[in-house]
Amino acid sequence: MNYPVFCKIVGIMITALFCIPASPVLASQHIQDLSHPSQNYTLTGDQTNITVTVTQIRSLDKILKSPSFQVDVIIRGEHHLSPIWTNQPYVYDTWSVTQQVSTDDPWVNITIALWDTNTNKLCDLSPCHEGSDTYNDTVANLQYSLMTGHWVGDDWAFWWDEGHNGTDYVPFHEASEFDPSGYGHLNGCDDGSINQRDRDAELYFTITQTTPSADGIPAWLKTNIYHLDPAVDYTGYDPNHDGIPITWDWLWGYDPFTNDSHASEDLDNDGLNNTKELKVAQWGADPFHKDIYVELDHMANSSSGAQSILPVESKEMIRTCFAQHDIDLHIDDGAMGGSDVIPFKENNTRQDLSGYYYAYFLHGNLSNWRRGIFHYGIVLYNANYAGYNFWNGYLPYFDAFQISSSCLDKKIFPNTEHKRDIVYGSAYMHELGHNIGLNAFAGIDNQNSAFPWMKDWWKFLPYHSIMNYAYMYNMIGYSDGSHGKNDYDDWSHLDLTSFETEMPWHPHP
């Protein structure tokens, strides 16, 4: 296989980044003056194991309402079929397959295909527009490097340069060259098709190989690039003392022996610098792909049993909207160390909300590390309005919002579970929209566009967005600006960094 001088490579996420082993002997040199990988490739044995792990699958197309997904992983021509997840548009089961491969060829061809067995048709996972070769424009074709532990093809994270003479290993990061859907993440909407009956879906995966130590860094790269002992576990070790362990540097193409500007670098412009990305790496953070983290707290049931909970399907519909536009929304409903239950109170003031922020989000610590990574979105019983953003009362940031179940329940007509999912989901996504920069357009929160008899109803009717009161509680999603005059492209105007901007009228404590 002929690979260009500029190769796309991506690494896999390693979850145990923080456990520091007994002090190994570390090399002090930088990555430099290296031989061409294909000229010096060696392994300790003739066979090694490759493992492909699928961690999540999601339908992104209305045509896939109740698919029965099945994954086909093809490793060097050998097929491996997953179980069938019957009529499940969202799959969170982990499934993996391991195959022994020869190391004679340092590259391993891997194809990932996703079938809907209800229709016996392929779902679209590819970034390619479907042309004459429907199969290869739908599946994901990858080439995994046994030397570096990264892969190229239809999924990648950054570029590297071997130099004209093959004597360099110089990773570099250009935002224009990032994979739209991120590392280890396939997304059929990457070709620009959204709800066009393209059978779009997304699939999260990792690829690993057997390595001499638990840190997952391949022996070839440790020996020839880092000049380290391949048998030593370097998990969590930080040779350049910049706060970033060597495993994370390896995954994302940074030099572990040179200090990088991780505390100020935010190449994907999502408000999370690399130091913050590391803190939530175990929950899918990608430094080259936009992530949004929200802590979801809710109020306990009333004595009469009234609930203040964001429905599961509401969360899934919101996640799907963001996924279709290549943004990963991570809602912490208990799996990421947050999500508290607030004692029931029937009527809540803004002062109460500030108290909840301090007690249940900051946990009494103004320097809590979660502030500046997570937004805070709570579901209360009643705070006078169906939803609004609020100042937290302690820190000079605009990063919190609430929705009130007692107000939203009055919007559920007809009284069905599906309508409830839409009402709650639209309210939560609407308030999150304000938290991520949707505030400036005249059609947003326009009090004169909520009903047909109001003067701005018809003017802003092309603005198909839950930020428009005419559509709120009746749909879930932002507008893409494609509906003519007086429409607005919400997605292009998102500012994920806005919750990090200090409010000028309040000094930092």
Task: Specify the pLDDT at position 137.
Answer: 85
Task: Specify the pLDDT at position 198.
Answer: 86
Domain of residue 469, CATH code:
3.40.390
Question: What is the pTM assigned to this prediction?
Answer: 0.90
Tokens 């690993």 sit on residue: 208
**Does 299 lie in the same domain as 218?**
no
Task: Specify the pLDDT at position 129.
Answer: 66
What are the structure tokens assigned to 131, written together? 């042309």
Nearest to 73 by CA among 157, 151, 130: 151
Residue 81 placed within a domain: yes
**Does 108 lie in the same domain as 68?**
yes
**Does 362 lie in the same domain as 241?**
no
Residue 264 placed within a domain: no
Which of 252, 285, 308 represents a domain boundary (last residue)?
Answer: 252
More confident residue, 317 or 194: 317
**Does 423 lie in the same domain as 314?**
yes
Residue 317 placed within a domain: yes
Which of 252, 287, 302 represents a domain boundary (last residue)?
Answer: 252
Which of 252, 282, 302 represents a domain boundary (last residue)?
Answer: 252
| Predicted confidence (pLDDT) per residue in 344-361, tens digit | 999 999 999 999 999 999
> 10 Å Cβ neighbour count for 23?
8
pLDDT surpassing 50 at residue 175: yes
More confident residue, 39 or 325: 325
| Predicted confidence (pLDDT) per residue in 102-129, tens digit | 998 889 999 999 999 999 999 999 887 6
| Predicted confidence (pLDDT) per residue in 225-265, tens digit | 899 999 999 999 999 999 999 999 999 989 999 887 899 99
Residue 262 placed within a domain: no
Domain that holds residue 320: 274-500
**Does 217 lie in the same domain as 299?**
no
| Predicted confidence (pLDDT) per residue in 482-500, tens digit | 999 999 999 999 999 999 9
Which stretch of DSSP H or E encloses residue 291?
A: strand 291-299
Task: Specify the pLDDT at position 265.
Answer: 92
Q: How confident is the model at residue 36 (pLDDT cuts 50, 70, 90)?
A: very low
Q: How confident is the model at residue 17 (pLDDT cuts 50, 70, 90)?
A: very low
**Does 278 lie in the same domain as 248?**
no
Q: CA 439: distance to chain centroid?
A: 24
Mean pLDDT of the chain: 87
**Does 290 lie in the same domain as 192?**
no
Residue 196 placed within a domain: yes
Residue 30 placed within a domain: yes
Q: How confident is the model at residue 196 (pLDDT cuts 50, 70, 90)?
A: confident
**Does 463 lie in the same domain as 369?**
yes
**Does 303 lie in the same domain as 238?**
no
Residue 266 placed within a domain: no
**Does 296 lie in the same domain as 161?**
no
pLDDT surpassing 50 at residue 276: yes
Q: What are phi and psi of 423, to 5 degrees?
A: -60, -50
What is the mean pLDDT of the segment spanning 153-172?
A: 63
Residue 314 placed within a domain: yes
pLDDT surpassing 80 at residue 42: no
- How many domains does the chain contain in total? 2
pLDDT surpassing 60 at residue 456: yes
d(CA 476, CA 478) in angstroms, rounded, equals 7
**Does 183 lie in the same domain as 279?**
no
Q: At what angle do helices 417-435 and 312-324 cross, to 10 degrees?
A: 50
**Does 198 lie in the same domain as 129?**
yes
Domain of residue 226, CATH code:
2.60.40.150
